[in-house]
Structure 1
Amino acid sequence: MRVYSGKSVFGGIAIGTIQVYKKGEQQVKRRKIEDVPAEIRRYRTAKQTALEQLQNLYDKALKEVGEANAAIFEIHQMMLEDDDYNESVENIIETQRVNAEYAVAVTEDNFAQMFASMEDEYMRGRAADVRDISERLVSVLSGNAGGGVQTEEPVIIAAQDLAPSETVQMDKQKVLSFVTIDGSMNSHTAILARTMGIPALVGASVPLDDTIDGRLGIVDGVSGVLYVEPDEETLAQMKEKQAQQEEQKRLLELLKGRENKTLDGKTIQLYANIGNSKDLAAVLQNDAGGIGLFRSEFIYLEREDFPTEEEQFQIYKTVVQTMAGKRVIIRTLDIGADKQCEYFHMDKEDNPAMGCRAIRICLTRPEIFKTQLRALFRASAFGKLAIMYPMITSVKEVRAVKQIVSEVKEELDRQGIEYNTPEQGIMIETPAAVMISDELAKEVDFFSIGTNDLTQYTLAIDRQNTKLEAFYDAHHPAVLKMIEMTIANAHKAGIWAGICGELGADTQLTKEFLAMGVDELSVSPAKILPVRKVILETDVEAYRRRKQE
């Protein structure tokens, strides 16, 4: 038995044959060509085929993993249509009189190096996308079909890395798990894996050769371990663990329809986080009591230009109508930091995580903010909609928001457009907001604690920097004390407080949050039932007493 460690992307146990997946070896050779116009036509035909492939991938991903995760294939289509990229390829064909494959390969190297050398982390990430679209073009030009997993039985895929396109093309019925040497916890592939619910490891030091190919393997997505040719004892233990997990899933299904009430009678609102209206099916399927975080920025990220008021209104209206009277909390535009839109034409910043983002963009570009607010208030007439403002750090900002809201309502009144009076709250995601939460609570209807950014800013650690994972502690006492302080100050002012960051789904902390007095937890749809289970099994007062002993 051989044991390899990696970082867990998604939990669960997978047992089956390992298949080493290698990209097709595409040897690009430089050839002189005589008919330049014909070669350029061949390139353009290949580009059109590649665009059609990407559209098919987008459609497939949209059905399987939702709009937000399918967006990468729209980005690849946009990159493939980029004038600079195409001009480079065609110029090399024309000036050097070489074959299209070679021109694409040279352009790939040049553009990938350019992106990789940029200071902005988001732009550096585009280097991998350039390589992905270029390899697709070379495959089409070379007549290689590529893609997919060649197997009759479900297998564990082991690879150097997997591009999002490769992951989506895989038949989920044929893939038990995947293990990659490269890749990060926040890569596109990792996000897709979590959405698809496939046990997976990244950063695993596995040999991609015959020592594992075709061998029996076990992926323990909980412990982050791959066992190759496990001994009988390990195999028996893992089968038992797998059976326990399946039984746990079955038992969780029995919790649907149950009220989120603790043993001593405290009721918790248990909501879902979503990125777009395509996630609503998962929300309803997992029995969420409402939506605690609708990330409206995805409406902007998935477009090449600003979404209109009408486009936004239709999306928000669909969501609140679908939720049929359940609370829907929509976060206003949270662009900036690691979420960039080219058409916003933002200035380059040395430290974008602390730059012009979220509410700072809205207050400095009120025309964008007003368009969204008009759409939100119009949609409030069709259900129980609440509005949440991100990255608030001062009372001054809240009052500035209120002034703009007042102007929007006056406009709607003049036009005779109907709207309700939605609750308005703020996200608490900076130490500054925590420390003045007693003052902020007097200005709003609710707090929602964004633990991802709150942890990042409290610990002064970039949460996307994999080199700092050893220092990043989401359970840090300082973070937990800040959450407790925020909840206490909310209650003193008579408003409710929830948590919508990743910690809200951390069942190791659920009892702790209940003891702090949290009113609402908003988690990914798949986490609703596991969190509900802990709530139903907890006696909050008894837990508090044990803590004090």
Structure 2
Amino acid sequence: MITAKGKSVSGGIAIGPVRWHQGEERIAAAEWAEDRERELIRLEKARNAAVLRQQGLYERSLKELGKGTAEVFAAHIMMLEDIDLLTAVRRKIKEQGHTAEYAVQEAFEAQAKRLSGLDDDYMGERARDVIEMQKELMTALREDSPGYLWNGSGREDPEKPAILLAEDFMPSNVVRLDRSSLLGLVTREGTQNSHTAILARTMGVPMLVQCGEIGESWDGHCAVLDADAGIVYLDPDREMLARYESREKKQEAGRSELQDLKGKASETRDGRRIRMVANISSPEDLNAAREADAEGIGLFRSEYLFLDGDRFPTEEEQFQVYRKAVEAFAPKRVVIRSCDIGTDKRTAYMQLPTEENPALGCRAIRFCLCHPDMFRTQLRALLRASAFGNLGILLPMISSESELSESRTMLKQCREALLREGMPVGSYTLGIMIETPAAVMIADELAGNCDFFSIGTNDLMQYTLAMDRTAPAMNRYFDTHGDPGYTALLRQIRMAVKAGHRHGIPVGICGELGAVPELTEALLRCEIDELSVNPGAILPLRKKIRELDLRN
């Protein structure tokens, strides 16, 4: 028996045969073209084919997994239609005489290198997307592409249910798989916050990353994947198989037990009640939140409206989306975050300058205040939607009193303007995200001027430790088992909670850490009032909370 350790990004147990996913074999592209016009035609045909393939993945993801997952493939389509990138490829063909394959290879790798060099987690994922689209185009350019067990139906399926191993998986690899044939995923590379890891959690597929000992020689063997413990066992003995088969059955029974928790309070044994609300990316995800018995929406990410198109969305377009969300979940509260974009998340139409360190640049509330017309348009749409349900407005990355004051002034001006125009405006609550150490240090001043706090643990952790949370080399600093980094974070959370409570406002957690069961008790001991997590984490966390007794 061989034991290999990795980092768990999606919990669970899987038992079954191993299949090694070879991925696309890198073939050296011929450099020089015989006919430049023919190469340009080949490029356009390949691009059209790749776009159609990504559109198919988008539609399938939207139907089966929700808008949040589908956004990955919408971004891929935009990349395949990126004018600057395509121009760079065409120039290499037309002006330098390269083949379509060579031009795609060179231009896309140069773009990926630029993005990965920005030392930002979002841009790092974009670099991975660029490489994935490079592979899509290279596949389309080859007349005979073997793919991975490609059956022509849009799926890449093992012949029978299996645990799939690979150097890494792209999101499209996973979405093309039939869920009934996918037992688990293990990769040599990857990070906890990659698109693929998030997708695995959404699908409920056990997954390990950074498992260096796996290899192609494992193909065809039997394995036990214990993603809860971060271990995969190759060729387990009978005793281990029996033990894990028993655990697997209990796990299945546990899923049924979770369904029985619907309608019950998320309350500890000593009577501490926690609100369990959902993070969503669009109105299409409301059904998943409702199915998970969410007590409200703690975070509606509005930026997809700004990133999916070729222009800023109009007031009416935004109003219709926000109204749909608050109406669908009424009377429960829907908290909509104002546009959290900037040079770290942008599209071509924004024409934003490149920043050396986007994570520390013009993003979130800074971006909104630097673009007042765009911000007013969104605030007006939000205020109009407040007449149709229970709305909370959330301002991201507030780090100073002046940012909050300026935002409140604009909100007041927009409300007065709408009332003068005869537009109905309802009541709403105004909250801010605590995402920087600066916000923690002035939490008392901020709490006196808003209705609730939402602590964004992803950015707060990153800014506190001055570390990229997606960088593999940094993983040991983000270990949940007693690392000093969490001591610093929990201390800041406690400070923010106390400040909020001194001013009589509730404080919630919004971020990946809120869904980590190992941290649930620690967060509750910080006296937080609410956990806002992905819909799939709500019932497991409710079970965890109901088992806790904070008197001990």
* 1:137 to 1:431, Cα distance in 2 relative to 1, 3 A: closer
**Once the two structures are superposed, what CA deviation does each residue of 1:338-370 show, in whole Å capped at 9, x if it has no partner?**
434443333433433232221122222211211
- With normalisation by structure 2, the TM-score equals 0.90
Q: d(CA) in 2 for partners of 1:86 and 1:516?
A: 51
Q: Give the conservation status (yes or no) of the 8 Å contact 2:9–2:208.
A: yes
**8 Å contact kept, 2:302–2:338:** yes
Which letter does structure 1 place at the counterpart of 2:129?
Answer: D
* 1:506 partnered with 2:516: yes
Match of 2:498 in 1: 488
Write the distance in 1 (CA, Å) between the matches of 2:524 and 2:123.
41
2:450 match: secondary structure:
coil
Query: Match for residue 269 of structure 1?
Result: 275
Q: After superposition, give the CA deviation of every residue in 1:255-274 in whole Å (9 maximum; x if it has no partner).
A: 11113334444433221111
Paired residue for 1:326?
332
Q: Deviations over 1:192-231 (max 9, x none)?
A: 212121111111124433x311111111111111111111
In the alignment, what sits opposite 1:16?
Answer: 16
Residue aligning to 2:187 = 180
CA deviation after TM superposition for structure 1 residue 92, in Å: 4.5
Matched with 2:158 is 151
- State the shift of 1:140 in Å: 2.3
Moved over 6 A (4+): none
Task: Report the counterpart of residue 262 of structure 2 in structure 1.
Answer: 256
CA–CA distance in 2 between the matches of 1:118 and 1:493? Answer: 40
**Which residue in the other structure is 1:304 paired with?**
310
Instruction: Decide which moves more: 112-121 or 386-395.
Output: 112-121
Matched, 1:534 2:541: no
CA RMSD of aligned residues (A): 2.6
CA pair 258-393 structure 1, distance change in 2 beyond 3 A: same
Separation in 2 of the partners of 1:108 and 1:363?
34
Instruction: Tell me which residue corresponds to 1:167.
Output: 174
Alpha-carbon contact 2:125-2:194 (below 8 Å) kept: no
Q: Deviation per CA, 1:23-78: give whole Å up to 9, x if none.
A: 24363553876655444333322322222111111111222332232223222222
Rg comparison, structure with higher value: 1
Aligned to 1:192: 199
Which residue identity lines up with residue 432 of structure 1 in the other structure? A
Answer yes or no: is 1:67 the counterpart of 2:67.
yes
* 1:405-444 superposed matches below 5 A: 405-444=411-450
Contact 2:125-2:195 at 8 Å conserved across structures: no
Q: In structure 2, do the counterparts of structure 1 residues 197 and 441 end up closer, same or farther at CA, with 3 Å as the change threshold?
A: same
1:237 matched to which residue of 2?
243
Between 90-99 and 491-500, report the one with greater CA deviation: 90-99
The alpha carbon displacement at 1:465 in A equals 2.8
Summarize the Cα distance change of 1:162–1:313 in structure 2 as closer, same or farther, 3 Å threshold. same
Q: In structure 2, what is the equivalent of residue 6 of structure 1? A: 6
State the percentage of identical aligned residues.
45
1:478 aligns with 2:488: yes
In 2, distance between residues paired with 1:516 and 1:89? 53
Deviation at 1:136, TM superposition (A): 2.1
**Is contact 1:19-1:158 (8 Å) kept?**
yes
Measure how far apart 1:387 and its partner are: 0.8
Which AA in structure 1 matches 2:375? F
Residue type at the aligned position of 1:30: A
In structure 1, runs of 5+ residues without a counterpart are none
Aligned to 1:135: 135
Aligned partners of 1:335 and 1:341 also within 8 Å? no
> Is the 2:194–2:470 contact (alpha carbons within 8 Å) kept by the matching residues of 1?
no
Partner-residue secondary structure (3-state), 1:470: helix
In 2, the alpha carbon distance for the partners of 1:344 and 1:169 equals 32
CA distance in 1, matches of 2:416, 2:136: 53
State the AA in 2 paired with 1:450.
G
When residues 85 and 479 of structure 1 are mapped into structure 2, their CA distance, relative to the original with a 3 A threshold, is closer
1:458 deviates by: 2.7
Deviations 1:154-173 (A, max 9, x none): 11111122222222111222
Deviation at 1:321, TM superposition (A): 1.0
SS in 1 for 2:518: coil
CA contact (8 A) 1:336 1:353 kept: no
**Tell me, what secondary structure is at the counterpart of 2:160?**
coil
**Whole-angstrom distance in 1 between the partners of 2:102 and 2:392:** 54
Instruction: Check conservation: 2:120, 2:468, Cα contact below 8 A.
Output: no
- 1:157–1:178 contact (8 Å) kept in structure 2: yes
Letter in 2 for 1:343: Y
Deviation at 1:102, TM superposition (A): 4.4
Deviations 1:353-397 (A, max 9, x none): 232221122222211211111111111111101111122223232
Residues 70-121 of structure 1, C-alpha deviation per residue, up to 9 Å, x if partnerless? 2232222222223444444444545666654444444445544555556666
**Residues 490 and 526 of structure 2 are in contact (CA less than 8 Å); yes or no, is this contact kept in structure 1?**
no
Deviation readout 1:232-285 (Å, 9 max, x if unpaired): 122122212222222222111111111333444443322111122221111011
Q: Distance in 2 between matches of 1:58 and 1:237?
A: 40
Q: Find the counterpart in structure 1 of residue 54 from structure 2.
A: 54
1:38/1:381 CA distance change after superposition, 3 Å: same
Q: Distance in 1 between matches of 2:229 and 2:252?
A: 17
How much does 1:295 deviate? 1.7
Q: Tell me, what secondary structure is at the counterpart of 1:223?
A: coil
Is the 8 Å Cα contact of residues 426 and 447 (structure 1) preserved in structure 2?
yes
Corresponding residue number in structure 1 for 2:77? 77
- Partner amino acid, structure 2, of 1:366: P
- In 2, Cα distance between equivalents of 1:179 and 1:90: 38
Q: Distance in 1 between matches of 2:465 and 2:112?
A: 33
Question: Aligned letter for 1:334?
Answer: D
**How many Å separate the matches in 2 of 1:412 and 1:208?**
62
- Out of 356, 359, 370, which is 1:353 matched to? 359
Q: 1:94 to 1:204 in 2, by over 3 A?
A: same
Counterpart AA for 2:221: R
